[in-house]
Amino acid sequence: MFYREAGQYFGSYVQDRQLLPLRQDRIGMALMLAGAVVVVPYVASDYWLSAILIPWLILALVALGQNILMGYAGQLSLGSAGFMAVGAFACYNLILRVPGIPFLVAVALSGVCAAAVGIVFGLPSLRIRGLYLAVATLASQFFIVWALDKFGWFKNYDTAGVVTAQHIVILGHRFTAPWEKYLLILAIVAALTLAAKNMARGSTGRAWMAVRDMDVAAEVMGLSLLRTKLQAFAISSFYCGVGGALFAFAYLQTVEPSAFSIELSFRVLFMVIIGGIGTILGCFLGAGFILLMPVFLNTVFHAFLGKAVDSSIASALEQVIFGVLIIGFLIVEPLGLARLWQLTKERLRLWPFRH
């Protein structure tokens, strides 16, 4: 009932090919964006903005980068946290060493730096595939974090190796309040998500998917494997780099290599798998699940069991339940949370009938 397309006719190809062809989707998206821009900054507390929404948006962006490479182009990669580290350190150094550089330019350039590094580490993808490629990209993770640790220049010779990120200043305005940072990040993430969606459904995305499904066939059809694969690596790393810069500047407020450990790479990978491989929506759902579920469990456990059960057991139980939930979701829907949403939509279309 809610998702009936009846009565909606397309008079031109432009209408037919638009981003959200269904009126209900357009209205829903407009309401959601309006809510995110207008309502959320007013309603949400500082805790929700700075500890939940900001990291969620940023990690969704990183998951998007990972998904472009893994879900669309089919190149299994494990180096997303490494590319985030490149972005974070590039942003720090650009602001430190280039006087008067605008923040947004610095963020974009850190994305470009990450993309350049991504291309270098993407080169092995021309010769190896699948799990072997994942192992090869693992090298990028270790190498980047090691190099950032090893050479003091990156950290401006800070004795402790943890540098404080500079303030975010745009057009003379300093972004300190959580709602300001939230809106800034929302704008960046929304723009990059739109770009990703358009890439994924355009010729670029079709080329990625052709390579993913069978690279020999794609080559026979005239696609340059070199170009397509490296392009996917570059764009993916760009997203990770921007995400890393935002993660360091708007969330952690420190720039430190150990924040971008292999563990974070795995978490990003899980976000993509749980959310849905090869979907844009899945990145947001997966990031939400992996990031927020432990926090949610912790809150619930400490509120209800904290007094009754020993807190060490409660903390351990949280991890057990989190693990069980991941397994449960993958059994119920191996295609991820995005697929669950799709099934719900199909059901809403038929509702109140069953078939």
Partner 1 sequence: MRVDSIIRRGLRGVLAVATIAATALAATPAAADEQYFGVPSSRVGPYAAMGTGYYGGIIDYLNYVNLKFGGVNGVKLTWEECETEYNAARTVECYQRLLKKGDQKMVVFDTLGTPGAYAVIGRMAEDHVVLAQYGYGRTDAADGRVWPWVFNAAGHYWGQIAVKMNFMAQQEGGIEKMKGKTIVHLHIDTAYGREPLPAMREICKEWGVRLVEIAIPPPGLEQQSQWLQIRREKADWVTFWGAGSGMNSTAITTAARVGFPRNRMVYVTFGGAEEDMIPAGDAAKGTYVAANAAPGKFPLIQDIEKVVYSAGKGNMQNPERVGTVYYNRGVGAAVMWVEALKNAQRIHKKTGKTVNGDEFRDGYEALDISDAKLKELGILGMSAPFKMSCTKHDGSERFRMMQWDGKKFEMLTDWVAAPDPKFIRKLIEDSAAKYASENKLTPRTCSS
The answer to whether residue 254 forms part of the interface with partner 1 (CB under 8 A) is: yes
Q: Please identify, using beta-carbon distances, which residue of 195 and 321 lies nearer to partner 1.
A: 321
Q: Please identify, using beta-carbon distances, which residue of 58 and 223 lies nearer to partner 1.
A: 58
d(CA 73, CA 67): 8
d(CA 10, CA 33): 25
Binding mask 103-142 for partner 1 (x = CB under 8 A): ----------------------------------------
* Residue 55: alpha-carbon gap to chain centroid: 10
Measure the CA angle with vertex 322, ends 50 and 81; round to 5°: 55
Q: Please identify, using beta-carbon distances, which residue of 176 and 198 lies nearer to partner 1.
A: 176
Query: Segment 158-187, which members bind partner 1 (CB under 8 A)?
Result: 159-162, 164, 166, 176
Alpha-helical regions (H) of 214-310: 215-220, 225-246, 262-275, 280-304
Which two structure tokens, joined as six digits, stand for 107? 């963020």
- Cα end-to-end span (Å), the chain: 12
Residues binding partner 1: what is the number (CB under 8 A)?
49
Q: Which of 251, 265, 271, 276 touches partner 1 (CB under 8 A)? A: 251
Shortest Å distance, C-beta 170 to partner 1: 17
| Residue 84: Cβ within 10 Å count | 34
Q: Please identify, using beta-carbon distances, which residue of 223 and 290 lies nearer to partner 1.
A: 290
E strands, the chain, in order: 163-164, 168-170, 173-175, 254-255
The answer to whether residue 252 forms part of the interface with partner 1 (CB under 8 A) is: yes
| Buried/exposed code over 165-178 (b: 16+ C-beta within 10 A; e: otherwise) | bbebeeeeeebeeb
| Residue 222: Cβ within 10 Å count | 6
Q: Which of 119, 300, 326, 335 touches partner 1 (CB under 8 A)? A: 300
Which two structure tokens, joined as six digits, stand for 172? 């003379």
Query: Segment 186-245, which members bind partner 1 (CB under 8 A)?
Result: none
Stretch that binds partner 1, among 73-81, 190-198, 213-221, 247-255 (CB under 8 A): 247-255
Q: Are 199 and 206 in contact (CB under 8 A)?
A: no
Q: Please identify, using beta-carbon distances, which residue of 239 and 251 lies nearer to partner 1.
A: 251
CB proximity list for 74: less than 8 A, separation 6 or greater = 208, 209, 211, 212, 213
Q: Which of 41, 206, 315, 345 touches partner 1 (CB under 8 A)? A: 315
Stretch that binds partner 1, among 23-31, 106-114, 133-141, 291-299 (CB under 8 A): 291-299
Q: Which residues bind partner 1 (CB under 8 A)?
A: 45-47, 50-52, 55, 149, 156, 159-162, 164, 166, 176, 251-254, 256, 258-259, 261, 294-296, 298-300, 302-304, 306, 310-313, 315-316, 318-319, 332-333, 340, 343-344, 347, 354
